């Protein structure tokens, strides 16, 4: 199945029919069906459909996986599935993210950018899938990304003292994570050797997307920028080389 994925991505490396069109309902269903069941036949059908419809790995990573995650989340919220089935579905989507990302990387190298970013989650967060999607998107446009999930203060201290980053991106999904995020920002300010830009994004920022909401989150956390737009985040941190690829 991995070799099949490699071949499909290779064939689609230079072409994608999606553009600004709405996601294809057949592919969206196949991704969601695979998340629910883990059935290899659903995965084979997905790769075949991608190849036939000229849908690239980037399209699946950026549009169809988040869509499937939203479907699974709504089913769990509406008590149509239990937490075990929801967790298994998310794990399968994360595995698909890894496989398509690996296939994409093996087929072609992304443009070389000038950015190095630390991407992390504050204490109490449990939604790692969005972080992995963001890391994948950043790497594809040539940004070097170090992912740290729920690090303690000493881990932040060590990584900041041993590495130079252009920015720190923090993903926040829930309101309950805002105060832990503020504590993380204070730790980052303490341990960073330079005045490093700190950007907050994630599900909470996407939902509360007014300027007033963003200013409130910035005021509470002490972050420099609050945005769910990768291009805007890169620009605000002075990472210019990758912006054209992000847009």
Output the pLDDT for position 212: 94
Distance CA 149, CA 99 (A): 20
Distance CA 47, CA 120 (A): 31
CA dihedral (89, 34, 101, 116) in degrees, to 10, reads -30
Q: With 90 as the cut, is the pLDDT of residue 150 above it?
A: no
Output the pLDDT for position 246: 43
183-207 mean pLDDT: 88
- Label residue 199 by pLDDT band (50, 70, 90): very high
3-state secondary structure 132-200: HHHHHHHHHCCCEEEEECCCCHHHHHHHHHHCCCCEEEEECCCHHHHHHHHHHHHHHHHHCCCCCCEEE
- Label residue 42 by pLDDT band (50, 70, 90): confident
The structure tokens 């950015």 sit at 115
pLDDT in tens, 55-96: 877 788 878 888 888 888 888 888 898 888 988 888 888 888
């Amino acid at each position: 199945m991995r070799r099949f994925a490699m071949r499909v991505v290779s064939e689609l490396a230079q072409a994608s029919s999606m553009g600004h069109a709405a996601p294809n309902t057949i592919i969206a269903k196949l991704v969601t069906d695979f998340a629910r069941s883990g059935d290899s036949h659903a995965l084979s059908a997905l790769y075949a459909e991608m190849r036939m419809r000229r849908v690239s790995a980037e399209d699946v990573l950026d549009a169809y996986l988040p869509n499937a995650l939203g479907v699974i989340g709504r089913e769990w919220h509406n008590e149509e599935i239990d937490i075990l089935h929801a967790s298994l579905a998310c794990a399968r989507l994360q595995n698909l993210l890894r496989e398509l990302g690996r296939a994409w990387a093996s087929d072609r190298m992304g443009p070389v950018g000038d950015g190095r970013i630390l991407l992390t989650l504050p204490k109490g967060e449990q939604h790692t899938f969005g972080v992995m999607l963001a890391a994948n998107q950043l790497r594809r446009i040539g940004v070097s990304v170090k992912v740290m999930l729920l690090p303690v203060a000493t881990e932040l201290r060590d990584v900041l003292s041993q590495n130079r980053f252009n920015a720190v991106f923090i993903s926040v999904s829930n309101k309950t994570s805002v105060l832990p995020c503020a504590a993380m920002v204070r730790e980052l300010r303490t341990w960073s050797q330079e005045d490093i830009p700190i950007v907050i994004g994630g599900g909470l920022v996407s939902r509360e997307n007014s300027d007033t909401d963003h200013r409130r989150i910035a005021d509470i956390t002490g972050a420099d920028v609050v945005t769910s737009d990768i291009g805007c985040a890169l620009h605000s941190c002075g990472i210019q080389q990758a912006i054209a690829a992000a847009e």
